[in-house]
């Protein structure tokens, strides 16, 4: 496989704050590459540099063989991008939005109708193509943005938090479209997300990003295998005390409380479960349920960053955004 994207010591700093810190990644042709991390981890800043929206403070990056600093126009012509925030004119129809984008990217007039009809068919919006965008649902708008990003047949499609704010059913549909668009156009996709299930479902490889750095990078199955253990999930009337007890008496320190349940990562989970039950009973803690599951990406993220991803996604302003505001002041 050939590298479609390569970064070498790629860095973006705002005064003393490094939003992206010496990033070294390579993305292969045809893969879906995910950048997973909380808001403020540096994901959007990274793809903003790769798309030539932001200039790196230092380091280099090649996209489709073009240098993002020395050859920005060539980079832009060879990529598509779907931004995190909506960027489509709702006073126009879906078809009109696609025509505008085709003209902006220099698609020959003789090819525009054929390409637009093809895209509308792929994203299943033929019946609504001539309706105003303001009548579209959130999912329909997102699908149109995905299609718009492909109208000039890019080699790489960048998706920045493509399903943020959408309901679960619509998110599932968008995931299906991303796979179909990738296969139909033989493109490479770079995806940023803070949704674990999205990264797991879509990505061939995932780079877990935190504080501007890649903490670990591999395929979803291999990332889960690095934990070398099972997860015991305990629901009880006093999970806080039980959490302290399993550490004190059983030596289990890989644990977290999620949605009121105690999750403990251990080896040989089946043999451990009776010991946890016995410890709870001895300390008058009522266990409502006890189950065993395989590790997921949330467990991987916690293991390598020391916290759950949810701790950071509730903050409104942090990371690069906060640094930019401080720099403006």
pLDDT of residue 211: 93
Q: Are residues 122 and 256 in the same domain?
A: no
Residues 76 and 135 in one domain: yes
Structural tokens at position 276? 């946890």
Q: CA-to-CA distance for 212 and 14, rounded, in angstroms?
A: 12
- Give the model's pLDDT for residue 249: 96
Range of the domain at 19: 3-223
CATH of the domain at 246: 3.30.70.980
> Looking at residue 325, what is its pLDDT?
39
pLDDT computed for residue 304 by the predictor: 87
Q: Domain for residue 248, yes or no? A: yes
Residue 7, phi then psi, degrees to nearest 5 = -120, 145
Given this model, what pLDDT does residue 305 score? Answer: 84
- Rounded distance between C-alpha atoms, residue 277 and residue 285, angstroms: 9
pLDDT of the chain along its 329 residues, tens only? Answer: 479 999 999 999 999 999 999 999 999 999 999 999 888 899 999 999 999 999 999 999 999 999 999 999 999 999 999 988 878 899 999 999 999 999 999 999 999 999 999 999 988 999 999 999 999 999 999 999 999 998 998 999 999 999 988 889 888 988 988 998 888 889 999 999 989 999 999 999 999 999 999 999 999 999 999 988 899 999 999 999 999 999 999 999 888 898 999 999 998 899 999 999 999 999 999 999 999 998 999 889 888 887 666 555 444 333 444 443 333 33
Note whether 235 and 206 are same-domain residues.
Answer: no
Find the CATH number of the domain harbouring 26. 3.40.50.300
Are the C-beta atoms of residues 59 and 48 closer than 8 Å to each other? no
Are the beta carbons of 182 and 155 closer than 8 angstroms? no
Query: For residues 301 and 258, is the Cβ–Cβ distance under 8 A?
Result: no
Q: Are 233 and 205 in the same domain? A: no
**pLDDT of res. 164:** 87
Tokens of 173: 């549909």
Does residue 178 share a domain with residue 251? no
Is 321 inside any structural domain?
Answer: no
Are residue 285 and residue 208 in the same domain, yes or no?
Answer: no
- For residues 3 and 27, what is the distance between their CA atoms, to the nearest angstrom? 6
**Structural domain contains residue 314:** no
Same domain, 43 and 179: yes
Widest distance between CA atoms in the chain: 78
Q: What's residue 310's pLDDT?
A: 59
The span from the CA of 264 to the CA of 210, in Å, is 23
Instruction: Burial-class residue 84 by CB neighbours within 10 Å (0-12, 13-18, 19+).
Output: middle
Residue 110 within a domain: yes
Are 98 and 197 found together in one domain? yes
Last residue of a domain, one of 172, 193, 223: 223
> What pLDDT sits at residue 315?
42
Cite the DSSP H helix spans in the chain.
43-50, 72-77, 94-104, 109-122, 138-148, 168-185, 196-202, 220-225, 239-250, 269-282, 297-305, 310-313, 319-328
Domain boundary among 207, 223, 239: 223
- Tell me whether residue 255 is in a domain: yes
| Exposure letters 245-279 (e unless 16+ CB within 10 A, then b) | bbeeeeebeebbeeeeebbbbbeebeebbeebeeb
Residues 129 and 245 in one domain: no
If one counts the domains in the chain, the total is: 2
Q: What does the pLDDT read at residue 329?
A: 36
Beta-bridged to residue 23, according to DSSP, are 10
Q: Which of 187, 207, 223 is the last residue of a domain?
A: 223
Q: Is 329 domain-assigned?
A: no
Give residues with Cβ within 8 angstroms of 140, minimum separation 6: 125, 128
Kindly tell me the sign of the dihedral angle through the C-alpha atoms of 318, 320, 324, 329.
positive
Nearest to 313 by CA among 54, 52, 39: 39
In a domain, 134, yes or no: yes
Query: Is 8 within 8 Å of 59 (Cβ atoms)?
Result: yes
**DSSP β-ladder status, 26-28 and 66-67:** unpaired
Question: Which residue, chain included where needed, has tokens 């292969």?
Answer: 28
**Shared-domain flag, residues 24 and 167:** yes
The helix or strand, by DSSP H or E, that contains position 4, with its residue range, turns out to be strand 3-14
Together in a domain, 211 and 255? no
Helix%, strand%, coil% for the chain, nearest 5? 40, 25, 30
178 domain-assigned: yes
Alpha-carbon span 214 to 20, nearest angstrom: 9
- Quick one: 204 and 264 in the same domain? no
């Amino acid at each position: 496989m050939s590298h479609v994207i390569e970064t070498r010591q790629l860095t973006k700093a705002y005064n003393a704050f490094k939003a992206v810190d010496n990033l070294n990644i390579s993305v292969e042709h045809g893969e879906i590459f995910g950048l997973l991390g909380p808001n403020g981890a540096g994901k959007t800043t990274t793809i903003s540099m790769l798309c030539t929206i932001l200039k790196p403070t230092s380091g280099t990056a090649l996209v489709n063989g073009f240098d993002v600093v020395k050859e920005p126009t060539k980079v832009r012509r060879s990529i598509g991008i779907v931004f995190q925030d909506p960027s489509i004119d709702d006073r126009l129809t879906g078809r009109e939005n696609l025509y505008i984008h085709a003209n902006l990217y220099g698609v020959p007039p003789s090819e525009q109708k054929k390409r637009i009809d093809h895209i509308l068919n792929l994203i299943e919006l033929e019946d609504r193509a001539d309706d105003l965008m303001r009548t579209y649902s959130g999912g329909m708008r997102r699908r149109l943005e995905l299609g718009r990003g492909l109208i000039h047949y890019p080699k790489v499609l960048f998706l920045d938090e493509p399903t943020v704010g959408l309901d679960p059913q619509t998110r599932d549909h968008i995931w299906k479209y991303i796979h179909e668009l990738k296969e139909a156009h033989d493109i490479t996709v770079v995806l940023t997300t803070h949704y674990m299930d999205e990264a797991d479902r879509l990505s061939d490889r995932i780079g877990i990003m935190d504080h501007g750095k890649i903490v670990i990078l591999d395929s979803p199955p291999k990332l889960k295998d690095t934990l070398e253990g099972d997860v015991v999930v305990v629901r009880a009337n006093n999970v806080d005390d039980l959490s302290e007890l399993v550490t004190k008496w059983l030596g289990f320190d890989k644990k977290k409380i999620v949605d009121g349940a105690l999750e403990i990562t251990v080896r040989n989970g089946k043999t451990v479960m009776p010991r946890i039950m016995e410890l709870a009973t001895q300390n008058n803690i009522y266990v409502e349920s006890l189950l065993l599951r395989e590790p997921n990406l949330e467990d991987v993220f916690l293991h390598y960053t020391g916290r759950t991803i949810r701790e950071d996604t509730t903050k409104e302003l942090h990371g690069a955004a906060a640094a930019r505001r401080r720099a403006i002041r």
